[in-house]
Amino acid sequence: MLKSDNEAEKIYYAIFKKNIPLSTKNHFDKISEKIDARYPLNEITKYHHLLAKAVDLEAIEVAARYLRTCPILNDKFKLMIFLAETLPENYGVFINEQSRHLSAYLSLAFSVFRTVYKLSKGAFYLALNRI
Amino acid sequence: MIHEIIIVGSGPTGVASALGFAENGIVPLMLDVGHEPRDIKPPVCNFYTYRKTRDSFDLMIGTNYEGLQNVIEKRTPSPKVSSPYMNFVIKDSETLTPVIEKGAPILQSFSAGGLANAWGAGLYRCMDDDLTDLPLRASELSSYFDKLTKEIGISGDDDDLTPFFGSTNHMLKPLKLSEKSEILYSKYKKKKKDLNARGMYMGRPRLGVLSEHYDDRAACDYSNLDMWVPHLPYIYTPAYTLQKLIREKMVIYRKSIIVTCWTRENDHLIVHGEDLNDRSQVTFKCRRLILAAGTVNSSKIVLNSKKDFARKLRFIDKTLVQFPLILPSFIGQKIKEDTFALTNLNVVFNLKKYGIRLQGSIIELSSPARSVFYEMFPFSARDNLAFIRLFLPSVLILFLYFPPARENAGYLMLRANNTLEIDSPPEKIDKRILREIVHTFIRMGVLANSLLLKQPTHALQYSGTLPMVAHPDREYQCDKQGELFNEPGVHVVDGSLFSSLPSKNNSFTMMANAMRIADDISKMIKKQ
């Protein structure tokens, strides 16, 4: 089966901007095989091509979600989110630990603009590579 | 040995009927698969304290990746049964009763206590107008409602919903409201007159969740473990009553038995099954058989006993629509770690204009994993996480239940290869009703938008296959004692009997009805 050596590392880094813990990587690799088994070979090839070439995986993922071009990438991101949530070091990424209304509104507004940028960037990359 | 009574199944109706027999001094034999929670020590601290201090992989995902079923198989059973400690609730269900699902996914349980091990514990008394298609009045159930209220320990309040939910006899005080729910409830109280005129009523839920120490069980500790840990002492499961009945020798309990059918011999019934320990065929003799295996499995036993592989039995379920309700002042608020994570408030929409009454449960989102909300937001991965962290604390979810339309029933049939085929078509929901409900919440000062509605799903309250009618005159109908037409001594006591469903959860009514039937049968036996 086609496989990238550092699939888990790349996805974890794209989401959390840090290195993946070994236990999470091991779980990801095991479950990845089950997800891959659901897809035809051409989808898996496309996914690994993106993984190997893409610089901004987060941008590609959001564009792929909207354009429905690489569902396997969306599944892998979702899987990583589920696995990462169980780690105490990511607690603050998922759970708001301090009340902060104004900065929350500003953060959310920034997130909307950031997504528009990421979506455009990802869509441009996918169009450029005819994916 | 010929048993007077054999009960199949230990879910809410099986246990309620056993209780009814026990009260009359009759000791039934209960046959059950009876899966129990894994023998692992679950956490005893608050969910958030646990997550902050240690790797919660075992609690949230599990060594067999139970918590990732949604990701791996793209199958979405209730999130509560997907968690590793709770997974025993649906263990082996796909192999013991294989189902070809033509519509919505079918959830079954072979655990001791049944699907109620993972229920929301909403226990509502049906009123006369909820029982329109049944030969039954609410007054005939009231003494059983009272007895079960004492047995279970139900919390609630005497409020605007009492006219819809019935007597508050023996009720415990309500649980502590979450901060958001408290604000929502105060908004309702301020605008009550206007909202009531629009057909909306709000109040506290009736829950089998203890607000105080009761019957040797501890009160709710607001630990948010409700989605994760089975047999929390404060959430009632029929398994508690079952354990008590076994301890007091008021029921003979045989587990690891799956009942397949019955046959007749002289004046008694022979119940056939399989012992799952050694896959051997076993038989038991009885004078009366009580089917309480849940709508899906009771129907399967009936069809298999009649060797009827052509008949399509009418199959109904309610429809569930989920509304996010947003309180903007809670955006960016710190998570409240000591919140009750199931239903905090109930609403009833009595929409006379549409001739419909709907019931909804307003639920806090403090217990599920945050990851399950990842796909709810349309942003990039890191931005979705920002919304999960900062926006989600402002959201309550309204679970709004629609009764099945009379013309929209599906079917259940048994194929000759022992596989069930169940078609459960999606309900068409009148969008004007949804818009009206959204507007009502907006009038209360809550952000709601019909664009935010999730696709309607099924409520997993299957019913109607073996309807109870006043005068049965054809196969697969039951009389008021649940006795199947042309099958003397075979009684159905579960959801199969209910040929129509109100929008309210009718589990409590099914339990009271099962207890009533057991009481009636006991009296008949005593007379003989």
Q: Which two tokens stand for residue B512?
A: 């009271």
Contact at CB, B387 and A108, closer than 8 angstroms: yes
Question: Alpha-carbon distance B286 to B268, whole Å?
Answer: 6
Which distant-in-sequence residues (6+ apart) come within 8 Å of B57 by Cβ? A23, A27, A83, A86
At residue B290, does pLDDT exceed 60?
yes
Residue in this structure with the two tokens 């309040």, named with its chain if needed: B157
pLDDT of amino acid A2: 53
* pLDDT at position B449: 74
Gap between the Cα atoms of B285 and B330, Å rounded: 61
In angstroms, what CA-CA distances link B412 with B99, B103, B260, B294, B479?
Answer: 10, 11, 17, 13, 21
Give the model confidence (pLDDT) of B175-188 as tens digits.
999 999 999 999 99
DSSP at B364: -
pLDDT, position B426: 77
Q: Which pLDDT score is estimated for A130?
A: 79
Interface predicted TM-score (ipTM) over 0.90? yes
Which residue do the tokens 């919140």 mark? Answer: B339
pLDDT in tens, B299-312: 999 999 999 999 99
Q: Do B67 and A78 touch (CB under 8 A)?
A: no
What is the C-alpha separation between B362 and B57, in angstroms, rounded? 29
Contact of B315 with B500, CB cutoff 8 Å: no
Examine the pLDDT at B69 and tell me if it is beyond 90: no
Closest CB to A93 among B72, B74, B385: B385
A57 to chain B, minimum CA–CA distance in Å?
10
Q: Do A86 and B54 touch (CB under 8 A)?
A: no
d(CA B73, CA B8) in angstroms, rounded, equals 32
Mean pLDDT of B155-163: 97
* CA-based nearest distance B41→chain A, Å: 18
Residues of B in Cβ contact (< 8 Å) with A81? 371, 374, 381, 385
Within 8 A of A111 by CB-CB distance, chain B residues are 379, 382-383, 386-387
3-class secondary structure per residue, B269-319: EEEEEEECCCCEEEEEEEEEEEECCCHHHHHHHHHHHCCCCCCCEEEECCE
**How far does CA B334 lie from the centroid of its chain?**
32
Nearest CA in chain B to A79: B71
pLDDT of residue A54: 78
Residue whose entry in the numeric block shows the structure tokens 């990851």 = B371
Q: Which of residues 36-75 of A touch B (CB under 8 A)?
A: 38, 58-59, 61-62, 75
A49-57 mean pLDDT = 88
- A16 phi-psi bin (left φ>0, alpha ψ -120 to 50, beta other): alpha
Mark out chain B residues that contact chain A at CB-CB < 8 A: 48, 51-57, 59-61, 65, 67-68, 71-72, 74, 329, 331-335, 369-371, 374-375, 378-383, 385-391, 393
Euclidean distance between CA atoms B295 and B315, whole angstroms = 9
DSSP assignment of A59-104 = HHHHHHHHHTS-HHHHHHHHHHHHHHHTSGGGHHHHS--S--HHHH
Min Cα distance B53 → chain A (Å) is 6
Residue B130 and residue B121: Cα distance in Å, rounded?
19
State the average pLDDT over residues B207-219. Answer: 96
- Identify the pLDDT of residue B77: 65
The per-residue pLDDT for B43 is 78
Lowest mean pLDDT segment, chosen from B45-59, B222-236, B423-437 = B423-437
Instruction: State whether B60 and A87 contact (CB < 8 Å).
Output: no
In whole angstroms, what is the distance from residue B171 CA to residue B154 CA? 6
Euclidean distance between CA atoms A57 and A59, whole angstroms: 5
Order of strands, sheet of B420-423, starting from the edge strand that comes earlier in the sequence: B99-101, B420-423, B410-414, B313-315
Token digits of residue B247? 């301890």
Q: Which of B57, B74, B380 sits opposite A114 (nearest CB)?
A: B380
Tell me the average pLDDT across B389-402: 95
Q: Do B53 and A88 touch (CB under 8 A)?
A: yes
* Residues of chain A contacting residue B227, judged by C-beta atoms under 8 Å apart: none
- Structure confidence by residue, pLDDT tens digits, B246-260: 999 999 999 999 999
Which residue in B51, B383, B394, B395 has the most chain A C-beta atoms within 10 A of its own C-beta, making it the best mutation to test that interface?
A: B383
Q: How far is CA B248 from CA B7, B33, B237, B253, in A?
A: 17, 21, 18, 12
Q: State whether residue B413 is helix, strand or coil.
A: strand
According to the model, what pLDDT value does residue B405 have? 81
Whether residue B263 is predicted with pLDDT greater than 90 in this model: the reply is yes
Size of interface A-B (CB pairs under 8 A): 131
Say what the pLDDT of residue B75 is: 66
Q: How confident is the model at residue B433 (pLDDT cuts 50, 70, 90)?
A: very high
Provide, as residue numbers in chain B, all residues whose Cβ is less than 8 Å from the Cβ of A62.
379-381
Name residues 85-124 of chain A within 8 A of B (Cβ): 85-88, 91, 93-105, 107-108, 111-112, 114-115, 118-119
Residues A115, B388: C-beta atoms closer than 8 Å? no
* Contact of B257 with B273, CB cutoff 8 Å: yes
B379/A107 touch (CB, cutoff 8 Å), yes or no = no
A34: nearest CA partner in chain B: B72
Determine, for residues A104 and B53 on separate chains, whether the beta-carbon distance falls below 8 Å. no
Residue B390 and residue A107: Cβ atoms within 8 Å? yes
Q: How far does A68 lie from chain B, in Å, by closest CA?
A: 13
Distance from CA of A104 to the nearest CA of B (A): 5
DSSP string, B114-164: GGGGGS--B-----GGG-TTSS--HHHHHHHHHHHHHHHT-B--SSTTHHH
Tell me the β-bridge partners of B269: B264, B286
| Number of H-type helices and E-type strands within chain B | 15, 17
Contact B371 A81 (CB under 8 A): yes
Type of residue at B385: L
Tell me the two tokens of residue A59: 């941008």
From A59, A87, A103, residue closest to B332, measured CB to CB: A103
| Residue-averaged pLDDT of chain B | 94
pLDDT value, residue A18: 95
Min Cα–Cα distance to chain B from A9, Å: 15
Lowest mean pLDDT among A36-50, A85-99, A117-131, B70-84: B70-84
Residue of B nearest to A11 (CA): B381
* Phi then psi dihedrals of residue B90, to 5 deg: -110, 10
Beta bridge partners of residue B361, listed in sequence order:
B346, B399
Decide if B389 and A94 are in contact by the 8 Å CB cutoff.
yes
- Under a CB-based contact definition with an 8 Å cutoff, are residues B509 and B497 in contact? no
Does the pLDDT of residue B34 top 80, yes or no? Answer: yes
Yes or no, beta carbons of B72 and A34 under 8 Å apart: yes
- Is residue B159 pLDDT above 80, yes or no? yes
Give Cα B65 to chain centroid, integer Å: 25
Nearest-CA distance A112 → chain B (Å): 7
pLDDT surpasses 90 at A58: yes
Does the beta carbon of A33 lie under 8 angstroms from any beta carbon of chain B? no
Closest approach of chain A CAs to the CA of B58, in angstroms? 9
pLDDT digits (tens, 9 = 90+) for B317-354: 999 999 899 999 999 999 888 999 899 999 999 999 99
